[in-house]
Amino acid sequence: TPIDKCKEINTGLLSNPDREGGYANDIFENLVYRYEEPNGMTRWDSPLFTVPYDDSAPPYETIWTALIGTEGELKKVKPNLATVMKPVAESDYLYELDKTTQEIVNAVIAWQKDHIGELGGQVTFGDKAVELPASPVTLPQLQRIRRQFISLNRQHNLAKPRIHGSFIEYLSTNFG
């Protein structure tokens, strides 16, 4: 509906004491200023039905079917991040994340103490290994990398067995 026609309708509603509705002029101007033309290509404006203000018979059935579905078949809503529930986090996830990363940091420090003077090296954890750089890695460097890893994974719930391998890979990436 054109803005002039909307203003005419609003003024008519305000001037008629028998009818409710209408916006105060300053609110109406603010609404017009903030109005954004719908775009059928965007998800939140879809499906978009353009119905002229003077249309005497809008496509009610088509709109109803698009929004609700037919009587025998309801419309299926595709799940997205807003509608899918996050899995419940394990209650001790942060504890495990902290404990596992601290154990690996302690193992790297212990390995460096046992191999003083060696340039680089490899600390093995089962089937995974951390490749250390040529210069010794200090405890503050390891703690900084550990804090980064924890802050990155605080919101993402890794499976407990994956924490170990992920942190080893993260260390290797930061050393490399």
Mean of the pLDDT values across residues 45-59? 84
The pLDDT assigned to 118 comes to 77
Share of the chain above pLDDT 70, in %: 95
Lowest mean pLDDT: which of 8-12, 60-64, 88-92, 162-166? Answer: 88-92
Taking the C-alpha atoms of residue 4 and residue 10, their distance in angstroms, rounded to an integer, is 10
Query: For residues 160 and 163, what is the distance between their CA atoms, to the nearest angstrom?
Result: 5
Which pLDDT value is given to residue 26?
Answer: 94
Give me the chain's average pLDDT, please: 84
Higher-confidence residue: 74 or 140? 140
pLDDT reported for residue 141 = 92
Reported confidence tier of residue 176, pLDDT bands at 50, 70, 90: confident
Amino acid 156 reads: H
Looking at residue 23, what is its pLDDT? 93
| Distant-in-sequence, close-in-space partners of 135: CB < 8 Å, separation ≥ 6 | 119
- Please compute the mean of the pLDDT values over residues 13-37 and round it to a whole number: 90
Supply the pLDDT for residue 89: 58
Amino acid present at 80: N
Backbone angles phi, psi at 40, to 5 degrees: -65, -15
Q: What is the pLDDT of residue 21?
A: 85
E runs forming strands in 37-77? none
Q: 3 burial class (0-12, 13-18, 19+ CB within 10 angstroms)?
A: exposed
Q: How confident is the model at residue 90 (pLDDT cuts 50, 70, 90)?
A: low
Q: Is the pLDDT of residue 111 over 80?
A: yes
